[in-house]
Structure 1
């Protein structure tokens, strides 16, 4: 049997399976959960940015007083890196009821977290369409934690930094050979968006040099370097060790964690629920968990447990 036929059968199986899964929630239950809200999204965003601003201020004004500066840097760095979660929610256009607001916040969040939302929307659409399907899901091209050394390398964030720098450069220069999920019709928009984003970074670097101040390094690059390992620690739990197939009940993990982590991650730890019903906004995922948890194979009591299992099973 040819690879093309096998792949076609895989996709047909996924489509049929997803159709059956969509019958878990009733139409009425899903309609209630799907209700998007500008106010809930704005409150979440405002609190996230407020914590980022306050921790950033403490970091900037307490050099030398390391008992304050270091915890502030950790919080600031993670709040900056976890703007990825805000972008992710907005890319799904579920953070707000207004799609223009979703798109604007997605781009701003990507700017802060070194993602590009215009590119990520296409990438992430394929990740959801082909979740854990070999040779289809773009996330499966990432480095795997197959041993302790690779695990530590992934957690360091270094492969992520290299991927983002090289990826942004490829997109900005119109090289899409490695990105089949970006259609030809979307390429001009993705290129334009990426170039604008890189221009802002370049402008921030120029201002830092012009005023002979390490602003770009101290208030963006260094905090993001600090925050990325925490984000990697969380994101590694979403699918690692789950099944390599199209079964949404077994190929994604929900991790039960502390409220601050759920807050910064916009309830993304309820990841199995999100993959099963991507239309459900962040604020309704805890309720969805109550209705769906008994159907999932992978529900873990915390990120320490998940990462320990990843290390011991690698």
Structure 2
């Protein structure tokens, strides 16, 4: 199956389960919002990588000066974990107008954030096609925050780490029994992509061992361990507590948050807008929110509020 077909399927809603989108945004209004931009994507990516580089430098240069090192590590770790956001945007091929650039940045972003973009594209296609539909949406197989203990476990990132380690191993060894969303024609490509990614991690570990320096741990593993709980805190808000059906006006949440969070997450906080119209690029989502917000059931004033509601309703 070609990447163009995959992308088309990812962006095309199921006619018998989705709201009538033509009654919400006109074709003309959507075409304006759909305008992709290489320059806006490059500026966003450059700023994101600059923060990773600067915070990583402060973390490495201030061992022992923990009043600087610890905040730097938190920013470094979260900005690294948040590379999930450009990977997600590039998988939709909306971050840039150039699709080769989308695919390359998606893979690189996944490498930093411990996702594999080639695998994630198939997984995410099903998540969009069957959002919140039981037994179809692959995200529904994740651990649910049904009590405070499970909530804290999810926020810790431990289930995510376990799932990624096991999942990457299964894919790299050609075990797709648990991944029905990966079509047989795409499996060879997914396997090769995952093996290359794991090979880079193994090489980085080997270099750290050879030079006798804990570089892999200090500059990738530990930062991601620190950053993942913040990312989990954000991602839990996207669908938790929303309806378990195919209604995109009720099954996804938009969370209104401050600018730094919107920046790191590439405007993914406007998640209901994104699910309703996945073709809208990240830089147009705030404008889309202005036109669409009155249609959504779940719009919340901040991630603290959403997570508190998740805890109290557990």
Q: TM-score range by the shorter chain?
A: over 0.9
Q: Distance in 2 between matches of 1:20 and 1:187?
A: 34
Q: CA deviation at 1:54?
A: 0.1
Match of 1:7 in 2: none
Match of 2:278 in 1: 278
Give yes or no for contact 1:14–1:247 (8 Å, CA) kept in 2: no
Alignment of 1:32-47 (within 5 A): 32-47=32-47
Q: Give the SS at the match of 1:267.
A: coil
Match of 2:212 in 1: 212
| Unmatched tracts of structure 1, length 5 or more | 1-12
Alignment of 1:109-124 (within 5 A): 109-124=109-124
Q: Could you tell me the TM-score, scaled by structure 2's length?
A: 0.95
Q: Give the SS at the match of 2:239.
A: coil
Alignment of 1:174-213 (within 5 A): 174-213=174-213
Match of 1:303 in 2: 303
Q: Distance in 1 between matches of 2:116 and 2:76?
A: 20
Q: Distance in 1 between matches of 2:208 and 2:29?
A: 52
After TM superposition, which residue ranges in structure 1, 4 or more long, deviate above 4 angstroms?
none
Q: Distance in 1 between matches of 2:186 and 2:130?
A: 20
Q: Distance in 1 between matches of 2:17 and 2:115?
A: 32
The alignment yields a C-alpha RMSD, in angstroms, of: 0.9
Give yes or no for contact 1:255–1:299 (8 Å, CA) kept in 2: yes
Q: CA deviation at 1:14?
A: 5.6
Q: Could you tell me the TM-score, scaled by structure 1's length?
A: 0.95
Q: Distance in 1 between matches of 2:218 and 2:276?
A: 40
Match of 2:156 in 1: 156
| Unmatched tracts of structure 2, length 5 or more | 1-12
Q: Distance in 1 between matches of 2:246 and 2:203?
A: 44
Equivalenced residues, count: 302
Q: CA deviation at 1:111?
A: 0.1
Give yes or no for contact 1:238–1:252 (8 Å, CA) kept in 2: yes
Q: Distance in 1 between matches of 2:40 and 2:59?
A: 29
Give yes or no for contact 1:250–1:296 (8 Å, CA) kept in 2: yes
Q: Give the SS at the match of 2:16.
A: helix
Q: CA deviation at 1:194?
A: 0.1
